[in-house]
Structure 1
Amino acid sequence: MQAVRQDPLLGGSEIFNGFLRRAQQETQQIPTEEVQLEVLLSSGQKVKVSILTSDQTEEVLEAVASKLDLPEDLIGYFHLFLVLEAKDGAFSFIRKLQEFELPYVSVTSLHNPEYRILLRKSYWDSAYDEDVMEQRVGLNLLYAQTVADLERGWILASKEQHRQLKSLQEKVSKKEFIRLAQTLKYYGYLKFDPCVTDFPEKGCHVLVGAGNSELNFQVKLPNDQVKEGSFKVTRMRCWRVTSSVPLHNGTSGPTTGKPEVKLELAFEYLMSKDRLQWVTITSPQAIMLSICLQSMVDELMVKKAGGSIRKKSRGRRANLTLQRSDSQQAVKSPPLLDSPDCSSRDCVVAKVSSKLGSVSLRAISHSGSSADIGTDDFHGNYAFEGIGDEDL
C-alpha cells in the first residue's frame, strides 16, 4: 500500500485517497460524526475545533485556521504534527500528518493522552517569515513558536543576545524579536531526541537537527568529545527508512512478548567529488526525519521553479501534488554516480538494512534478505547536486 502511495499519480488520486480515509475509519471502527478535537499551539494554548471524524488533515487545518482567524492565504505556511508530549511540557515529533490522514482517528487510535496534535510552521526558509508576519495572527503564531524554541534550547543565543531578546519581549516588539532570532544559530531547525549514528564511527550518540536545507549532527564521541557537522540535502543522492526486528535464535523476531522494532534512516551522501558514503541514523523518529528531508527537497524545487507556498484556493492539494511529483522523478532515474565501495546496489543495500526481516517503509518490501530489496525502495532526491573542482 505504501509503495502505491509513492506513485505521484496514484498518490494524488481522490479515489485512492478516499479509500485510505475509509480504511482508517473502518480499521478503528469509528463512525462519521461531529466531534471536538483539541489542537496544541507552540505557546502551550489549546484550541478546540468542531470537526467530523472523517475530516482529513487539510480540512482540520482549515478549521483551526478559521478558529484562530488566520487568513486563508497563510494556511499553506502551517501544518499539523503528531507529537508526544512529556510531563515537563516538551514534546517529541512523531510525524507530519499526511494529506490523506484523518487527524481525529490518528490521535484517538493511540489510546494515550500524551499524544497530541500540534500546529507549527511547515516551511524551512526564513525568508517566508516576512509573508507570515504581514498578518497579525501569523505574526503571533510565529512569535510564540520562536519563544518556545528559544526556551527549550533549540535556538542558541549568547547572554548578550538573550538580554536583547528579553528587552524586545518586554517592549512587545514581536517583529524585531523574530528578526533578531533569525540571526541566531539553529533558528528554524527542528530538533530530534538523542539517537545513534554510524558516522564518523559506529555507535556514536548524536543530536540531530533539521533545517537550513541540511541535517545537523552534534556527535558525542567515545572519548566524550562533542563534534558538529552538517549534511546538505542537495548532496544526498537518496535515502530510505527501514524497520527491522532483532534476531533471536536464528529467527527474525523475538520468541515472546511484543516485537522490538528498530527504525533507521539511511542516506547516501556525496562526501567528495568521487566518493559517496552511506550514513545511518537509528531513531524512533526516523519517519519524521525522512518527512523533513522530503519537505526540504520539495521547498527547494518550488523555489527553483519560482513557485509559492501561499494558499490560493481549494486547489492547493492538487498544486502541491504536482510540485511533489517533480521532486520524486529521481526515484525512477538512473544513479548519477556509482558508489566506489561496491560493484552492485545489493552491496549498498546491505549496509543500511538488517540482514533478516527487513521492511522498507517507503515501498514495503517483506524481504528475507537485504539482497532481495530493489532500487525502488530508495527515495531519490531530485535536488541532488554534484561537486565540481571549484567546490573542493
Structure 2
Amino acid sequence: MHFSIPETEVRSDENGSSYVAYNIHVNGVLHCRVRYSQLLGLHEQIKKEYGNNVVPAFPPKKIFTLTPAEVDQRREQLEKYMQAVRQDPILGSSEVFNSFLRKAQQETQQIPTEEVQLEIYLSNGQKVKVNILTSDQTEDVLEAVASKLDLPDELVGYFSLFLVQERGDGGCTYVRKLQEFELPYVSITSLHSPDYHIVLRKSYWDTAYDSDVMDDRVGLNLLYAQTVSDIERGWILVNKEQHRQLKSLQEKGSKKEFIRLAQTLKYYGYIKFDPCITDFPEKGCHVIVGAGNNELNFHVKLPSEQMKEGSFKVTRMRCWRVTSSQVPVANGTANPSSSSKCDVKLELAFEYLMSKDRLQWVTITSPQAIMMSICLQSMVDELMVKKSGGSIKKQMQKKRLNGSFQRSDSQQAVKSPPLLDSPDPSREQVVKLSTKLSSVSLRGLSSSNSASDISGNDFHGNYAFEGIGDDDL
C-alpha cells in the first residue's frame, strides 16, 4: 500500500483554535486527517511497544509557530515517517499502527460507531447483507460474511474482500484488497458513489488450493460462481469447443468437473486490470495486464498497431516499487497551473532478469499500480510459504468491540449463476493470438500465429527467485 501526505489543511478545533491537519492518503485516496500531536502520540506508542532502536526518525517539535515553508518540510518528513513505519514488516502490521489508522479514518469521516447493515457482493452478483458495527475492521467483516454463508472457519483465510468499481461498459475495476488498517463500512461510505461495492473473492494463486475449497459445499459454490463470472467477463479465455464442454457440465450441475476443466484454460485464476501504458518493449505501448500463475501477463499493442503478448514471472523479478506523482488538472482552462486540483499518477516498476546476466526495469503506468503490487507481493508470500513446506493458514484474529457480533440472521445460500452465454466472437481472435505464448519470454504474435522473440534472449531457470531477499520485496 502506498502512503503519502500530499497536502495540509488549516482547520479549526471545537474551541475555535486553528491547527494544521496532515492529510494521509492511501493509494492516492484520502484515508484520514491527523494533527502533528496525534502522529507524535503514535510515535511514542510505537517506541514504548518496540523500543527506540526500531522506530524511524520523527520530526521534532517546534517552539514557535511554523512558517509555510516549515509546514511543508514537516509534511515531507511525516510522509517519510509513515512510509517507513508501513514498510517495516513488524511495525507496519502492528495493532498499534493499524488501530491508529482505523480510529483516524472513522474520526475523519465523522461516522459514529453504531450497528449497520453492509452489503457484500459475490462474484455472481448475489448480495450478502451482514449486520456489523461501523467500527468493525476488515477481518471482522470477512468473518461476518463467512458466518452468514456458513463457510467453515478453516476456509475463511482463502478469501478476501476487494473494493471494486463498476464501469459504464458493464465491466469492473478491482481497486484494491481491503486492508487491516481500514474499516470497510467507512471506506465504502466515504466514496459517496453507487459505482463502488465490496466483493468477496478468493485470495490465493496456487490452483492446488482449489481442492481444499471444493471439499466444502459453500466453498465449492463460491469458487464455481467466481469461475463462471471470470469466463463471462472474458478473464478466462474459452474457445467454442471448450465452451460447449463447460455448458454441458453446467447443465448437469457438475460444478467440480466444471472447475477442473476451467483450471486447464488460459488465464484461470487471473485478475485482469484496465488498459494502461507500459515502456516495454517500447515506450508508450498500450497494454492489458493480468496477474496470476505467479506472473504478470502482458497483452501489448505497439505504436505500429502490432499485437504482442508474453509474461513476466515473479520468480525472475529482483524487486519492484510503486511511485506516485501529482499531475495538475487543467479543469477546462488553458493553463494547468491555474488549477489547484491534481490527479495522482501511479507507476509500478519492476527489475526483471531478462537473461542470466541482464536485468532491466519495466514500468507500468496505471491507477491500479498498487493493486498490481499487492498481487505480486501475495504471490511471493505464497511461494515462500510453499517453499518452506507450509500452506495457507487462517491468520485472522478476532478483535471485537464490546464483545462478539450479534448474528441473528439466517444463513444465506450461494446461488448458482445462470448458464454460460455463447462466447463473444471478438474474443476468438484473442484465443488465436495466445496459442503460442511462451511462459518465460515475450513473443510477437501476428495474425498468422508466427512468433518472434522480442527480447532476443532466452531465460534460464529461476535464478532471480533463488537470490530474492526480504529487502527486495
Report the TM-score range of the alignment, normalised by the length of the smaller protein. Answer: 0.7 to 0.9
> Which residue does the alignment assign to 1:288?
371
- Quick one: which amino acid aligns to residue 293 of structure 1? L
Q: Does the CA-based 8 Å contact 2:348-2:369 persist in structure 1? A: yes
Cα distance in 1 between the residues matched to 2:113 and 2:387 = 41
Cα distance in 2 between the residues matched to 1:306 and 1:383 = 20
Cα distance in 2 between the residues matched to 1:118 and 1:2 = 28
Match of 1:61 among 106, 119, 142: 142
> Which residue does the alignment assign to 2:354?
271
The CA deviation at 1:9 is 1.5
Match of 1:260 among 343, 352, 359: 343
Gaps of 5+ in 1: 317-381, 388-392
Is 1:182 equivalent to 2:239 in the alignment? no
Q: 1:297 to 1:315 in 2, by over 3 A?
A: farther
Cα distance in 1 between the residues matched to 2:329 and 2:247 = 55
- Quick one: which amino acid aligns to residue 324 of structure 2? S
- Partner-residue secondary structure (3-state), 2:139: helix
Q: Does the CA-based 8 Å contact 1:39-1:48 persist in structure 2? A: yes
TM-score where L is the length of structure 1: 0.78
> Which residue does the alignment assign to 2:280?
199
Cα distance in 2 between the residues matched to 1:163 and 1:309 = 34
- Quick one: which amino acid aligns to residue 305 of structure 1? S
- Quick one: which amino acid aligns to residue 275 of structure 1? R
Q: What fraction of aligned residue pairs are identical, expressed as a percent?
A: 80
- Quick one: which amino acid aligns to residue 146 of structure 1? T
Runs of 4+ in 1 over 6 A off after TM superposition: none
Alignment of 1:314-325 (within 5 A): 314=397
Q: Does the CA-based 8 Å contact 1:297-1:383 persist in structure 2? A: no
- Partner-residue secondary structure (3-state), 2:256: helix
- Quick one: which amino acid aligns to residue 192 of structure 1? F
The CA deviation at 1:244 is 1.1
Is 1:155 equivalent to 2:236 in the alignment? yes
Cα distance in 2 between the residues matched to 1:283 and 1:126 = 27
Match of 2:186 among 90, 96, 105: 105
Q: 1:75 to 1:248 in 2, by over 3 A?
A: closer
- Partner-residue secondary structure (3-state), 1:9: coil
Q: 1:254 to 1:72 in 2, by over 3 A?
A: farther
Q: 1:313 to 1:16 in 2, by over 3 A?
A: closer
TM-score where L is the length of structure 2: 0.65
- Quick one: which amino acid aligns to residue 14 of structure 1? E
Gaps of 5+ in 2: 1-81, 331-335, 400-462, 469-473
Cα distance in 2 between the residues matched to 1:74 and 1:383 = 32
How many residue pairs align between the two structures?
319
Q: 1:77 to 1:100 in 2, by over 3 A?
A: same
- Partner-residue secondary structure (3-state), 1:10: coil
Match of 1:143 among 203, 208, 224: 224
> 1:155-211 deviations in whole A, cap 9, x for unaligned?
111110000000000001000000000000000000000000000000000010000
Q: Which has the larger radius of gyration?
A: 2
Cα distance in 2 between the residues matched to 1:138 and 1:221 = 41
The CA deviation at 1:132 is 0.2
Cα distance in 1 between the residues matched to 2:102 and 2:395 = 25
Q: 1:163 to 1:52 in 2, by over 3 A?
A: same
> Which residue does the alignment assign to 2:96?
15
> Which residue does the alignment assign to 1:369?
none
- Partner-residue secondary structure (3-state), 2:157: helix
